[in-house]
Structure 1
């Protein structure tokens, strides 16, 4: 048994991150699906699609839902799903977060949720030009 991963994002973001992470690491060790949330689609229909996707991924271990922007429609749909299935949501999806999830694929839902958030945060670094380059 392993955690299912559901990427709920604005169009194209989840697919592109998944493609890049899979190319970098060779393959995806988890059951994973991407769900694009277009800006103008019917919210109820999208919610039903999200429920179906999450249930298909859950083998009893739970689902980790990764979204791109907290407070946006993909994130709101993801948070609603946690009322119906065993799932955790981490927003702010980025490539380091997804790679970290792949690398800890045997963790349980709580640990994998923590690793995802930690990977996303650690993947953000600020660099600045030296005075000579400015």
Structure 2
């Protein structure tokens, strides 16, 4: 199983975990969050991230999800990935920025595969989870209301004037 570590600006990581628990009805295994609060020393964050990576690693590698490229959480995650790469194959760590709920849910769902597959599935979940709902709405759901219907113009009269 692939371990998952979220390193993000507080309280994003904790909120994403709460959402994942809601969807899956139980906390995921081999999973940790490092929510970065302002003014925390980067050395301390790196120590915490290293410890958490070791805790969640079940031997198949760790996927680190971070929020904003260039921010402190992603800088720590990048250092973590570089340190793992220098440590050899037993410390495989992949890092993805731009964490969102679809990315996390995909990562959890596919974490029983290999690290490369989890990375690919998580990234596709993130991008495919971004949808402009108005442009995707079927024509049948678009309503046009007539002021002479007796309604308030927002469909409150119960009359259906669908096109």
- TM-score normalised by structure 2 residue count: 0.74
Higher helix share: 2
Larger Rg: 2
Structure 2 match to 1:95:
101
1:107 maps to which of 82, 89, 113: 113
Output the CA distance in 1 between the equivalents of 2:107 and 2:6: 12
Aligned residues: 132
1:3·1:30 contact (CA, 8 Å) conserved in 2? no
Structure 1 match to 2:12:
13
- Would you say 1:123 and 2:129 are equivalent positions? yes
Q: Which deviates further from its counterpart, 22-31 or 78-87?
A: 22-31
Q: Deviations over 1:62-116 (max 9, x none)?
A: 1000011111110110011012221001111111111111221211111001111
**SS of the counterpart of 2:6?**
strand
RMSD: 1.9
- TM-score normalised by structure 1 residue count: 0.89
Which sections of structure 1, spanning at least 5 residues, go unmatched?
none
2:30·2:55 contact (CA, 8 Å) conserved in 1? no
1:10·1:38 contact (CA, 8 Å) conserved in 2? yes
